[in-house]
Structure 1
Amino acid sequence: MLGWLGQFLAAEAGIKPSGVFHCRLIPPRPDFAFTLTEEERALMGRHADYLRTQLREGRMMIAGPVADPTGPWGLCILRVGTEAEARAVTDADPVVRSGRGFRYEVLPMMSVIM
């Protein structure tokens, strides 16, 4: 829904989509970053390896944890052609595929300065 709204507002304002997407990884619990089990730590290692692959292949620009006072979450900025491509990248992330309650919010950037 938010992706559609961003595209609609950009079109109304005459802004061409940037092809850059803000991807917020929401962990399964607010204290996840502080209460990792060994199994979860290994899963996060696979997640990091996956993101490094996206960086090497030119789809990812930057990623890392965000120190939000309400609970840390992950940020990934993707540069791909479409929102569907961004969702394909986030859906293939090992943490999402693990079924442990991780999910991404994917929002198109209306414009970027690089």
Structure 2
Amino acid sequence: MNPEILDQEGYTSVAAGEAPVRELFPGIRLRRLWRGPSGAHADLLEMDPGTSWPRRDVHEPGPEEVYVVRGTFHDGAREYPAGTFLHAPAGSWHVPNSPTGCTLFLFYPEG
């Protein structure tokens, strides 16, 4: 064991179920897992079955990295099952929805 690992500045962990939750839209919740000093952040997005973003989700100021943890995610063009990774470059957009419900891991390297 190397307990000094946990003493490193910025080294952190959080149990997903204990992360603060915020409802973005009815049936769509965001759990902030981490936020860095430069604004980068990592989140879990939980979508109940049949939920949809009410408008385009534009990726600004930087890209969005998405990993489908559970369920099926639909970006408005096609479906992505659990285990799928998506990279959405800065300035791109999609209309998130989920017919079956899903959990997504999101990373925003530029905030």
TM-score range, shorter chain: 0.3 to 0.5
If the length of structure 1 is used for normalisation, what is the TM-score? 0.34
Instruction: Give the strand-richer structure, 1 or 2.
Output: 2
- Structure possessing the higher relative contact order (Cα contacts under 8 Å, 6 or more residues apart): 1
